[in-house]
Amino acid sequence: MPANSAPSLTSMDAARKLVSTLQTSGVRDVVICPGSRSAPLAYALAEAEAVGMMRLHVRIDERAAGFTALGLSLASGVPVPVLTTSGTAVGELLPAVMEANHAGVQLVVLSADRPIELHGTGANQTTSQFALFGTHVRASVNISVGIDPSKYAQRALHEASGSQFIAPGPVQINVAFRDPLIPADEDSLPDFGTNVSYPAVARETPSTIRWDVPVGVKIRQTVVVAGHGAGAEASEFAHALGLPLFAEPSSNARHGANVIAAYRTLITKHMNRIERVVLFGRPTLSRPVAKLLGNAAIKVALWNPTPASWFEKGKRTETLIDSATELSSFAGVGPSGWLEAWQTLDAQATKIIDHAIEASGELNGPLIAQTVWKRAVGNLVFGSSNVIRDADLCAVPGAAARSKVFANRGLAGIDGTVATATGIAQVRPGIKTTVLLGDVTFLHDVGSMLLGAGEPEPDLDVIVLNDRGGAIFSTLEHGAVEASGRYANTVERLFATPHDVRLGPLAAAYGWEYVAVGNLAELNHTLVAKASRRRLIEVVVTRNELRSLHQDIAQSVNSLDWPVAE
């Protein structure tokens, strides 16, 4: 979508028009990376911030900037731009753009570019960066030097918000600037003193769907699966129809009496009793759920009232349903004792799991995840890999949600977790944000501990479950290869990637408070203690027995028989 009309605007004039368009389109936060070619937009954004139109967040690392913008958009529900200069700076945003694409997040890439006459000449920091993100963006607009960018930016922002047929997602606004790249001599930053107030973040509106039980509805042995992003609709649906609910932690539906907390350990043995599945959100965490959804003998419906970002039409085997009445009719109501039988099994399995993770008296991943889940209020962010699966195994459902759960499950990469959480925390600084992640996930994004100068300290705890490497591989088939000894230390070296990084000095270098936790009592105390600044909480555990722990739990739970007489 090129914009190549006759030029007429200075770089600063074009930048100011673009910033005005962003503001009228609902943008309130912008993440900025330093650079000269992007200077006109940086100055224009500084002017907007000075009069209370926007908040600026400055990051040195473009990859961290991209994920910070992702977190800001996740928590606010509005588009968030990230501004970079030309060249490799734009490419650094690709991981965040890919995640935003698959997660349906309105991330806006503002990429500054060199004038067209410099392309192909070997000019510094000049490359083909328009349409760099390919199919990962909903739209790309290329705005030439001197062009009024307003209508092109409006088009891109409209595409970012999605439509009846396309889910929301990222867009790229690529705008070229020519010297001069600085404000005119007579320009100056507006001075509004300390009376600047930023736009309020819109609050979430509760679901208005009524899940009525249709007259004459059939009796069926149905379960409800709530994957990532399912929301309260899943728990409300399960409650209305009296059905068991299998809810992942980031579904934000893991609360209420219908939740079967230990579902993933129970599915394999009792799958043959299930006739139908109603799926909300995107399931990403366990192979038993994947097998359940792929079982040809079980009919599955996917609640799909709006376009989804995580699958293409025709590629899923579930029946897509967008009518509440039709979904209720598909599910039916459970036979007498159906929900109660699952609840009885769940109570027995939960007792087995709790005993297993507490038996040694030492901290381990599942016990830490369970404790953090119980204590967290406000926002709770899970890293990818093991920690979110630990929570899925043993997070105890409450009567109501204590926190809103976030996780980058679009592509489930470990990158950008600290940055994403920081963005989430900065949307509403007065709300606590707790992050639980593994040491490898943390180290991958350690540069995101750096906050822009002058930015207020978010209320943020980052809890690092440090087992000196990547533990998840021991729970997969690679663990069996390692146990066999056939490949010596290959699995440990190439998959677990052991390290000996000292997190205390690292926290000090970035100006964080550091807390070392050695036992469960200390963890509980730390989680409720007040903090004056961001905290890095390190919990050192071992991963030597992790594979056997999961095997023991699976074996014990598989011994449980169906509690209702045949």
- pLDDT tens-place string over residues 221-268: 999 999 999 999 999 999 999 999 999 999 999 999 999 999 999 999
Closest Cα to residue 129, out of 169, 154, 163, 97?
97
**Rounded CA gap, 383 and 472, in Å?**
12
Which H/E stretch holds residue 463? strand 460-466
Q: CATH 3.40.50.1220 spans which residues of the chain?
A: 222-345
- Highest mean pLDDT: which of 112-116, 361-365, 516-520? 516-520
User: Exposed (0-12), middle (13-18) or buried (19+): which is 457, by Cβ within 10 Å?
Assistant: middle
- Domain 2-176: CATH architecture, name and number where available: 3-Layer(aba) Sandwich (3.40)
Angle (CA) 510-513-515 rounded to 5° is 125
Are residues 472 and 478 in contact, defined by beta-carbon separation less than 8 angstroms? no
Predicted confidence at residue 194, as pLDDT, reads: 45
Strands ordered across the beta sheet of 378-382: 403-407, 378-382, 433-438, 460-466, 535-540, 513-517
- pLDDT tens-place string over residues 62-108: 999 999 999 999 999 999 999 999 999 999 999 999 999 999 999 99
**Rounded CA gap, 359 and 366, in Å?**
12
Is residue 511 classed as helix, strand or coil in its secondary structure?
coil
Query: Of 171-180, 310-319, 516-525, where does mean pLDDT reach its minimum?
Result: 310-319
Beta-carbon count within 10 A of 289 CB:
21
Task: Assign domain 361-555 one CATH number from 3.40.50.970, 3.90.180.10, 1.10.3720.10, 3.40.50.10210.
Answer: 3.40.50.970
- pLDDT tens-place string over residues 106-125: 999 999 999 988 888 888 88
Phi, psi dihedrals of residue 331, rounded to the nearest 5°:
-70, -40
Angle between helices 62-76 and 94-103 (to 10 degrees): 20
222, 284, 334 from 341: Cα distances, Å: 13, 26, 11
- pLDDT tens-place string over residues 20-78: 999 999 999 999 999 999 999 999 999 999 999 999 999 999 999 999 999 999 999 99
- If you average pLDDT over residues 508-532, what whole number do you get? 96
- The topology under which CATH files domain 222-345 is Rossmann fold (3.40.50)
**Rounded CA gap, 80 and 1, in Å?**
21
DSSP 432: -
Assigned token pair, 494: 């190439």
- Residue 1 pLDDT greater than 60, yes or no: no
263, 292, 308, 476, 479 from 287: Cα distances, Å: 12, 9, 22, 11, 16
- Residue 566 pLDDT greater than 60, yes or no: no
- If you average pLDDT over residues 539-554, what whole number do you get? 87
**Rounded CA gap, 534 and 463, in Å?**
11
Q: CATH 3.40.50.970 spans which residues of the chain?
A: 2-176, 361-555
Predicted confidence at residue 377, as pLDDT, reads: 92
In percent, the amount of the chain with pLDDT more than 70 equals 95
Predicted confidence at residue 3, as pLDDT, reads: 52
What's the pTM?
Answer: 0.93
80, 153, 167, 221, 539 from 456: Cα distances, Å: 19, 30, 33, 52, 27
Predicted confidence at residue 208, as pLDDT, reads: 73
**Rounded CA gap, 463 and 473, in Å?**
21
Burial readout 529-564 (b: 16 or more C-beta within 10 A, e: otherwise): eebeebbbbbbebebeebbebbeebeebbeebeeee
- What does pLDDT average to over the chain? 92
